[in-house]
Structure 1
């Protein structure tokens, strides 16, 4: 008998596993697939539990069980709607809640971040008061450079804060004239200063700004006899710890 070495044996074709055989998840049960399709179709807007039941026509118990299963499989997540935190809303995990749902950058976990808002108001007011007249870009650069806040703030966020202060009549918005108190700001550029008019009831600590109640405010000029530089009341107010 003639022996045959392994190298002389014919090569048999090897069956290769399908490339997606391991990565492809198993198909979802019919009810779960129906619910998942409904949720995913809403993308970043999400969908209420009641609307899922209405769209799918499935019984309450089936929907509840399927939602829990889909969450365990990390396919969907529940999100907080700032307009109605009591009702559950669901969204596919690959989407982030839209501004209408999350409330935007001022909300954290569905709650208005009043601490951040008030901190930004104080910082903006202090900077404007110290610089008499300033621009949005200067306010933004100052806050970024000083690192007085532990969270980054975009220009849009700061603009929203400043606009709120304008609406509350705590500061005033102007177009620079390029002369006088506006000399350091290019003509035509939007700038801000502490309000010299009547302060509203919601102004809080700004109601104590001496300029707003000074009977000689019309005579006050940067380099005049009556000036913010020589006013003891104004300097005292600037040194207040907001």
Structure 2
């Protein structure tokens, strides 16, 4: 579905990604692991058109994405759930969810997708009239995920969803990811919880210093070897 080839990207004169290549297969959960500063979020921003690509290519279903404005990614059935949740704090839970279906092409299915979101995240139904700013960290993460699903994207990109969450909420989060995977949803998951990320993934990429240093089917990954590479031992 998504193909990244020999990618270089960064911020101004500072290059972060170095000839990076990876593939995301349709219907699979691809997880990208790496320490802080490895370039994981930079990669996602490049895919979503938030930063310019200086070399290489990004393609979706064989069609180039290079230069596509971020606001057009929704039309290509892509959605990103950013690190830090970024909910609209002064809007209600339900208003936040409806913003996920704001684009004209998604409005006809908004009511049906809202019910799907409430079925998957029952706590959000209970809180639907509350301001998003009053939610706990775990509830806010569920809201961010549900909002991303409101457009029923073919490719869902999730950046550090477990960051700062209590263990019980991390468990609930990964149960939801497993359900989405069973539904055949194509996902990219950036995550630092290596054990949980590998456990839910189909394919694992490990990044170090803007490069892919391991690409392996999740079922073949040795956590000991992964951690040796992760910590550059």
TM-score (norm 1): 0.24
* Greater C-alpha Rg: 1
Structure number with the bigger relative contact order (C-alpha 8 A, sep ≥ 6) is: 2
Q: Answer 1 or 2: which has greater strand percent.
A: 2
